Amino acid sequence: MLVDNTYFQGKRFIPNINEPEVNNRTGDDLQSFIDSVEKNVLSYCFGLEMWKDFKEKYNDQSTFPDNYKNLVEGTSYEFEEKTYYWSGILEVELKRSFLADLVYYNFKIHQNSQASEFGEVSADTKVGNKASITPKVIEAYNSFITKCFGGFRGFADGLTLEGNPVWVVSNRLGNGIGLDYYGINRQSKDVSMMQFLFDNKADYPLLDLDYRRYGGERKNQFGI
């Protein structure tokens, strides 16, 4: 619906996606990953009601409203007397998207193994030696987390007596810690999608506002 094969060039290059070969299902497999990521990520982030509304209006561009256009294409906006910038779900001219980042990550992890009668095994290469895919896929995954959830903390460090989540954070001087009961941590003027939506929630009345379910953990160079 949003991302297509043209987003898998450069750093997110996936070969053979447009080459018709009898034994090569790369293009079809990639499309199934695109469909899955778009549905799962956006329905989770928006909530099902906003996701259904967004999808219906996006499929009919004649009724696609400005608030959704800003979400897809990006925009600058004012919040608490400061200017912030959201780059958009799609950076069309640069052919970049955090959705493509996650598609690339999932596709490469899947492609790097193959099914056998003994379970999943590492895929062999017909020519040359296979290089580790870990650095590239981890960079793509972390890019997705930053662009989608940046400014929203990951999983809570604990719960209050009332059962609400709480995060342990360092103070600005780095010489002590405190407790954060909100889970929102504004760090940059280039905001993530979820930060943009919550800063402009009046423009998105169907948005699921339970922010405590959002967030994700970045992975290190070992994929952990």
Q: pLDDT value at position 127?
A: 45
Nearest to 126 by CA among 17, 24, 14: 24
Tell me the sheet residues that pair with 116: 119
Q: pLDDT value at position 159?
A: 79
Domain shared by 57 and 92, yes or no: yes
Domain shared by 112 and 163, yes or no: no
Domain shared by 130 and 194, yes or no: yes
Place of tokens 């899947």: 110
Q: pLDDT value at position 210?
A: 80
Cα–Cα distance, 31 to 68 (Å, whole number):
24
Residue 91 counted as domain residue: yes
The total number of structural domains in the chain stands at 2
Domain shared by 79 and 128, yes or no: yes
Pull the structure tokens for residue 209: 């506002």
Question: What is the DSSP pairing of strand 165-170 with strand 158-159?
Answer: antiparallel
Cα–Cα distance, 123 to 114 (Å, whole number):
6
Domain range for 111: 5-151+190-213
Q: pLDDT value at position 92?
A: 93
Domain shared by 102 and 196, yes or no: yes
Domain shared by 69 and 147, yes or no: yes
Place of tokens 């956006």: 42
SS3 readout for 144-156 = HHHHHHCCECCCC
Domain shared by 147 and 164, yes or no: no
- Three-state secondary structure call for residue 113: strand
Q: What is the pTM of this model?
A: 0.79
Domain shared by 43 and 145, yes or no: yes
Domain shared by 132 and 176, yes or no: no
Q: How far apart are the first and last CA of the chain?
A: 31
Nearest to 192 by CA among 118, 105, 89, 117: 89
Pull the structure tokens for residue 161: 């007596």
Residue 202 counted as domain residue: yes
Q: pLDDT value at position 213?
A: 63
Q: pLDDT value at position 216?
A: 58
Residue 224 counted as domain residue: no
- pLDDT tens series, the chain, 224 aa: 899 999 999 999 998 777 665 555 677 789 999 999 999 999 999 999 999 999 999 988 888 999 999 999 999 999 989 999 999 999 999 999 999 999 999 999 988 765 433 344 455 544 444 456 788 899 999 999 999 988 776 667 777 887 777 777 776 666 667 777 766 667 679 999 999 999 999 999 999 988 666 655 556 554 54
